[in-house]
Amino acid sequence: MLKSGKKVLPVILRELKILKEANKNYLYLCMLATMLCAGIKPTLLAVIPKIFVSWMCTGNTGNQNAYAIACIFAAILLAGLIGILCDNILEMRLVELRRDELQKYQKWYQQIDYHHLEDAAFSTKNQSAIDALGGSDGFYGTYMALIDMGKYAATFILCGASLLRFHIGIICICLLSVYLSGKLNACIAASIEKNEPARAKLNKQKSYFSEIGYDFSYGKDIRIFTLSGMLKKKFVSKSEEYVCNQQGIFRRKRNLGFLNELLVCTRNLSVCLILAFEYYSGNIDLSQVTLYLGMTIALNQALDSASDKRVELIQHAVYSSHYFDLIDDKSYISQHNGKDLPGGHIGTIQFSHVSFRYPTSEKLVLNNINFQIAPGEKIAFVGINGAGKSTIIKLLTRLFDATAGEVLINGVNINTIDKDIYYRKVSVVYQDINIYAASILENVTGYTEDTTSRERAVQCLKAMNLDKKIETLPRRYDTSLLKIIDENGIEISGGEAQKTAIARALYKEADLYIMDEPTSALDALAEMEVYELFSQAAMAKTVIFISHRLSSTKFCDRIYLLSPEGIEEAGTHEELMEKRGKYYNMFITQGKYYRKGKENNGIRENTD
């Protein structure tokens, strides 16, 4: 067994334990029944030729042999029916078990620290885990391979017991053969295991380009920018790499398979010679030769199949071990004290000498940042790309932890507060808007159906001036979005999607609202309108705005201008304009693109 074959038994025991944890103990009986039925059938089939040959050799025309044959066929039929029934039950219930385990993994994945999602090494491990749960390999395959191994083991025990009484040499030859064959197959399994990281990586890359080709959200870009050729080229390239990777495994399988066939031929010849010797020595008659030959064939078939299935079992168990190792790793979910939020609400927010660098980088994104936000204030962070605006939001939403310094909520380090309690008090609209294949209301409320939540969601949508458009739709607020689930679903514009996401954030009734550039699909004037609407709707709440465009920050209580060096300017819009510093220059420059000149009859200028 290969090195990581040590993982096989723990994986098997763990998966068997999962049956008990899922209250599916009856599946143990189904497994045992299907194994016994599978073992009985070849054993009984080997007896039938013996009865026929004995019948023909003795010339006995009585009904005893016919009756025996009829009983054997009836037993075979019954065993087959029971086996089919148990197999069907096992397949259905194990598919359900795999689904439950996939849901468990999805829940775990949603709880891990966010920074792992941006780690390429974790992405590869995640792909292996998904492969282990997503199809017939890995988790599900381990069960099925184990059941098949049990079937072959039952055949070996029943046939082996009969052969052992006749000639122990046949058993020894068969076992030696399967041992050597197992060594060859273990080499194949070792190659598969060693190749798994490369296979998972190439499969992920190949699948990425394949999925883009069918992803509706990429459809417009692919057509307008004629990207299909480039995507096809990259897909073909990665597919060829994947095929080459697999061909290496197939070549090794072929070479070792030839040696295996030579071993099988030697085994079969040896068994035939033993039977011939015993027959001509007068130790057995012709009917017994037929019986033991049939038993040997059944036993060898079981051993050969078990040897092949053993490789599959190891492969599936190794895939499963990647999944189990991942979810058992405690380092992916930070352990916090989980204290209550002081005062029950988010009040004062303070960054005290906060510095931050991403785990895979040596460069500081934030360096010694200090500021304080009072309850109910409307704050804007502005600045060029890479200044750290969105990074501040990631620290505030606990997607990352500060490298140095502290983020304080009500004077307490944010990392000591229970995440679930904290998240209930925070609502965020990110730059990348997600619209779900559900009704307009469900996109705001989640899947709550009570009347109060419905009325409140409608008010939030009205606050974003979406009600006029929604009222024209056939099913109004129950109209489905996207066509993935409902073929009659509608596609809304980018601006409408952003307003829907803002209504979703407003619906949450949080203490802290964060707008991380969610209005990129709107022009500056429309953006300012939406921000003002949102600011009015979240009247007494703390609101943080992130924006490239300064026209939407005029109504804020305080503005922080960020640069790669840190906070360069801070104050109200009027104060910063009076300083005539960087904020002033940025505001004036941006304003040119939206100022209507008399000479162009209202057309926006496009010059410096």
- Give a yes or no: residue 467 inside a domain: no
The whole-number pLDDT of residue 342 equals 82
pLDDT for 336 equals: 61
- The CATH number given to whatever domain includes residue 523 is 3.40.50.300
Q: Based on the domain organization, do 240 and 156 belong to the same domain?
A: yes
pLDDT at 1 over 50: no
Q: How far apart are CA 432 and CA 516, in angstroms?
A: 9
d(CA 232, CA 251): 28
Residue 459 · residue 527 · CB < 8 Å: no
The whole-number average pLDDT for the span 287-300 is: 84
- Both 158 and 99 in one domain: the answer is yes
Residue 296 sits in the same domain as residue 381: no
Q: Which residue has the higher pLDDT, 120 or 525?
A: 120
Q: What is the pLDDT of residues 339-348, one digit of tens each?
A: 888 888 888 9
Same domain assignment for residues 127 and 181? yes
Of 28, 308, 309, nearest to 144 (Cα)? 309
- For residue 495, pLDDT beyond 90: no
User: So what's the pLDDT on residue 606?
Assistant: 36
Give the pLDDT confidence score for residue 135 in this predicted structure: 77
Question: Residue 395 domain-assigned?
Answer: yes
- The residue range of the domain holding 193 is 3-331
**pTM, full prediction:** 0.64
Report the distance separating Cα 590 and Cα 83, nearest Å: 75
pLDDT higher than threshold 50 for residue 596: no
**pLDDT value for 2:** 41
Same domain? For 315 and 347 the reply is no
Cα angle: 29, vertex 35, 36; to 5 degrees: 90
Question: Per the domain annotation, does 466 fall within a domain?
Answer: no
- Decide which of 278, 303, 331 is a domain's last residue: 331
| End residue of a domain, out of 331, 365, 397 | 331
Asked if 503 and 469 count as a contact pair (C-beta separation under 8 A), the reply is no
Task: Please check whether residue 24 is in contact with residue 93, taking contact to mean a CB–CB distance below 8 angstroms.
Answer: yes
460 in a structural domain = no
Give which of 44, 28, 52, 29 is closest to 80, Cα–Cα. Answer: 44
Say yes or no to pLDDT of 607 above 50. Answer: no
What is the CATH number for 244?
1.20.1560.10
Residue 470 lies in a domain: no
pLDDT of residue 197: 81
Q: Which whole number is the average pLDDT over 166-186?
A: 80
> Is pLDDT at 248 greater than 80 in this prediction?
no
Indicate if 153 and 293 belong to the same structural domain. yes
Q: Same domain for 148 and 279?
A: yes
- Find all residues with CB under 8 Å of 3, minimum gap 6, and list them: 190, 193
Q: Is the pLDDT of residue 85 over 90?
A: yes
**Same-domain pairing of 9 and 134:** yes
Residues 289 and 350 in one domain: no
The count of structural domains within the chain is 2
Average pLDDT of 295-307? 82
Say what the pLDDT of residue 350 is: 92
Query: CA 241: distance to chain centroid?
Result: 23
Find out whether 415 and 409 touch, Cβ atoms under 8 Å.
no
280 and 386 together in one domain: no
Residue 505's nearest CA partner among 439, 427, 431, 447 is 427
Across the chain, what does the average pLDDT equal?
A: 81
The residue type of 513 is: Y
- What is the arithmetic mean of pLDDT over 118-122? 79
Pair 229, 136 in one domain: yes
Question: Is 155 in contact with 39 (CB distance < 8 Å)?
Answer: yes
Could you say which of 272, 299, 331 is where a domain stops? 331
Please state whether 604 falls in left (phi above 0), alpha (psi between -120 and 50) or beta.
beta
Which has the minimum average pLDDT: 123-132, 184-193, 555-564? 184-193
Give the pLDDT of residue 61: 54
DSSP string, 404-466: EEEEEETTEEGGGB-HHHHHTTEEEE-SS----SSBHHHHHHSS---HHHHHHHHHHHHHTT-
Residue 9 maps to a domain: yes
Inside any domain, residue 427: yes
Q: Is residue 451 part of a domain?
A: no
Summarised one tens digit per residue, pLDDT across range 398-453 is: 888 888 999 999 988 888 888 888 888 888 888 777 888 888 888 888 766 667 77
Percent of the chain at pLDDT above 90? 8
If residue 321 lies in a helix (H) or strand (E), which one and from where to where? helix 286-328
Kindly tell me if the per-residue pLDDT of 24 is higher than 80: yes
Confidence check: pLDDT of 119 > 80 = no
- Say if residue 32's pLDDT is above 90: yes
Of 486, 538, 531, the residue nearest 507 (C-alpha): 538
Q: Are residues 235 and 361 in the same domain?
A: no
Question: What integer is the mean pLDDT of 299-308?
Answer: 81
